[in-house]
Chain A
Amino acid sequence: MNQYILKRLVLMIPVALLVTLFVFILGQLIPGDPLLQMIPPEEAQQLSREDLANMRAAFGLDRPIMVQYVDWLSRLLQGDLGASLRTRQPVLDLIIQRLPVTIQLTVMSMFIALIFGIPLGIYAALRPRTVADSGASIVALLGISMPNIFLATVLIFIFSYTLQWIPAGGFVPLSTSVSQSLLLMLMPAFTMGTSLLGSIMRVTRASMLEVLSLDYIATARAKGASERIVVYHHALKNAFIPVMTVLGLQIGGLLGGAFIVEQIFAIPGVGRLTVNSIFGRDFPVVQGVVLFFAITYLVVNLLVDLAYAWLDPRIRYS
């Protein structure tokens, strides 16, 4: 097993790097000059094409693509992710700064999704094809199909604008005030959690239905086990594997796709950093973030695969 884990970890490196190479090339191909963005037209009165060319050379942006990539790679091996073109801050610092925020948002979203999604899924699975089942499915569908922008705006309108219970946006670190931090994260986490909730509920329901129809469940019931033990001890553990798959797949989305929610609720997470850097053509930051996401995604998938082995003793890796 340990050999397997080691093999997976080693294989991660070329995969992650391939992704960064792809993004690097893509970044060079798209139109948009980072230098033009750094100096807005209003301030560019005196700027000539020659000045731009000089600045480009100073930033090393005039070198061939592969030269720039290899340079980036060699610095990476020394633990240097480069510096933002716009702010000159080390990219690693930027990411580390934003990471706790995104993690907090992701964890709270997952929490909401699981806390409501799994029980709802079990509830529906135990009453298949009843009104309760349809009701739960409708809730799930609403969660999946409602666009984040819309839900976020509705939540702000109700809880901030009308009821004035929660401030409209903003972020407070947990270290400053746990209650404020959680309060401000509530609406964003709920917005992101609802789409995941829908998927979790559907998968839980489907998986539970399938498992509950298996022979060993009938055997357990015949042996006189209480319904509670049948559902939670015998069925759920096996039903959980597909749910894990969904979670694993969705975490990547949660981590990166939080941009809209971060934008609307003014949360300084990695999502906004990524998108603002793309718009600003801040290539070093984009590269750094892509590498980070690639590795995170690969690690999460490894953990999910390992979790399978734990959940299902029949699964063995070599």
Chain B
Amino acid sequence: MNLTLSKSFRVLAIVLLMLSFLTGALATGQSSGILNIGLNAEPSSLAPWRSGDTNTHRVYNALFDTLVGQYETLEVVPGLAHSWDVSEDGLVYTLFLHQGVTFHNGEVFNAEVAKWNMDRWINPPQGYINGISGVASAEVIDEYTLQVTLTAPNNRFLINIAGGLRSILPPQAVSELGEDFSFNPIGTGPFMFEGWVSDSAITLVRNPNYWRLDADGNNLPYLDGIVFRTLPDSSTRHTALITGGIDMDTTISPENVADLESRDNFVVYNEPAVGYMGLRMLMTQAPFDDVRVRQAVSWAIDREAINQAAYFGLAVTGSGMYGPLTPGYEAEYDPYAPRDLVKARELLSEAGYPSGFSMEIIVAIPLFQLVAEVIQAQLAEVGINVSIQFVERGTFLDGIVERQWITYVDSLAGRVDPFDYYSHLECEALYNGHDYCNEQVDQMALRDGLSQFVDPFDPERLALYNQAHRMVMEDAPLAVVLYPPTLYAWNSNVKGLSINPAGRVWYFETTKQ
């Protein structure tokens, strides 16, 4: 008798369990699952004031929210702030914040919390990497309204607070944990931190109380969790993607793209990121102190050949800093293309180097060594004798800052506004390895980011930046080669990833069938 009773209880329990699974699935209306993402390096820390590399941002976007965002395009859209007003003089931003948002540990998000966060960016403790400049103060107007006053109009203020370094953090948890927050991060984001096996995997689980809803009013996110797996070797990562060990690879080697595209069940994402790769030249050292020599180098480069050799034809080439997704991009402006060896030789002769000269190109990654080798062959055609030296990254960065490298292959990513293209060109800037100094460009492009225009996308502002762009390219401190693509691949059963022109990814509406 007892046995039968307990057996029927068990059956009942199983049926109830199955029903609850069913209703759970119906409620979300979408398939769930755990998304496994492969990273080529582990974030060193998950505290936005400590770590800001690309891989860390991938995790930040799952754990945290920002006040505003650039989720799909470079246009700033609401985040934790659902709307905002900007004063006539462009000095005061009033942000209206979402209500009913809580952190993973239960702390409530409101204007006080937003102010606490902003104060830390305005006056960061020593060693913090997420300070913000040009902001005078932040004040709480009411429980869900924050007013921010700038020291001068800055039309990129909203863009500046959209990035992962300005993630909104919980004051209580941060005060209690201090630096331990790096390994116990807490945010308002769609996923919560569950565990971190050092140098191996970071596990996040779904935040059941996430504030965002989809267009039909369903709770987001759809995924049950995300696991970020650190797989430093590109072949291992590629194999893991093929065999299902990971569902998404965030650093694809161009040579593996053909293999992926030949298979039915993978999606390859290829968009030119907002950034560039090129050869920088130190303008204070002969022969690069002569603009004609610099221009000659740019004319002598065959960009498409480099694209084929190093990027398997996957990149978009160009000789200007702005790529196709840069605001204000002018497709017809390609100052040093098509390749013109005659012109290059002419310029070299005029400058006093009719039979060329010798130069050394410094590189710090194998891909750029390949690029340098192609450039070496191309410049030989105008009599320039190139030698290549591979240095390790730490040495490389030092050499740029010390102005030790005369020419080097370098890339720059994440340029979300035209303003960002000029930071490496500012007089005396730390990473201005060309030692470029043009007061006019500084004045035009950098001083205030042309903040007389309230809207950073104002066509007049973009036109002025295009003028600055042309000024710089005339001076040719660098020979741009191409725009490195954002190359991702994922299993075709993964859908709904949000990727912006800087290659940043968000997972609000991601599903895995």
Q: Which residues of A contact B (CB under 8 A)?
A: 30-34, 36-49, 52, 54-55, 58-59, 86-89, 94, 97-98, 153, 156-157, 160-161, 164, 167-171, 173, 263-268, 272-273, 279-281
Contacts and interface: CB of A to CB of B under 8 A. Distances in A.
Interface residues of B, number: 50
A34 B44 CA distance: 13
A161 B241 CA distance: 10
B53 A40 contact: yes
Interface in B117-148: 126-127, 129, 131, 133
Given A33-B397, A170-B229, A265-B236, A38 B129 contact: yes
B236 A97 contact: no
Given A43-B165, A45-B420, A169-B236, A31 B430 contact: no
Contact of B430 (A44, A58, A161): A44
Contact of A266 (B44, B127, B236): B236
Contacts of B44: 86-87, 280
Interface in B53-90: 53
A37 B399 CA distance: 13
A171 B201 CA distance: 9
A195 B51 CA distance: 39
Contacts of B235: 153, 156, 264
B239 A160 contact: yes
A29 to B, nearest CB: 12
Contact of A281 (B199, B245, B394): B394
Contacts of B398: 31-33, 36
Given A42-B412, A87-B45, A263-B233, A33 B394 contact: yes
Nearest to A35: B127
Contacts of B230: 266, 268
Interface of B: 44-45, 50-53, 126-127, 129, 131, 133, 165, 179, 182-183, 197-201, 229-233, 235-237, 239-240, 242-243, 245, 392-395, 397-401, 412-414, 420, 423-424, 430-431
A168 B199 contact: no
A284 to B, nearest CB: 14
Given A36-B401, A45-B423, A264 B233 contact: yes
A220 B240 CA distance: 57
B129 A32 contact: no
B430 A49 contact: yes
B393 A279 contact: yes
Contact of A39 (B129, B183, B414): B129
Contacts, number: 142
A167 B395 contact: no
Nearest to B430: A47
A41 B394 contact: no
B45 A266 contact: no
5 closest Cβ pairs, A-B complex: A32-B394, A268-B199, A168-B239, A45-B423, A169-B236
A36 B197 CA distance: 27
Contact of B394 (A167, A267, A279): A279
A266 B232 CA distance: 6
B200 A170 contact: yes
B394 A170 contact: no
Nearest to B201: A170
Contacts of B231: 168-170, 266
Given A87-B44, A265-B236, A36 B412 contact: no
Contacts of B395: 30-32
A173 to B, nearest CB: 7
10 contacts: A36-B401, A86-B50, A88-B182, A94-B198, A156-B235, A160-B243, A168-B236, A169-B237, A170-B231, A171-B200
B397 A169 contact: no
Contacts of B239: 156-157, 160-161, 168-169
A47 B423 CA distance: 10
A47 to B, nearest CB: 5
A168 B52 contact: no
Nearest to A164: B243
Given A31-B394, A173-B197, A281-B394, A40 B52 contact: yes
B52 A43 contact: yes
A168 B245 contact: yes
Given A37-B393, A173-B197, 6 more contacts: A40-B53, A58-B127, A167-B245, A264-B235, A266-B232, A268-B197
A25 B392 CA distance: 19
A263 B237 CA distance: 11
Contacts of A49: 430
Name which of B199, B232, B393 has the most chain A CB atoms within 10 A of its CB: B199
Nearest to A265: B236
Contact of B133 (A46, A52, A169): A46
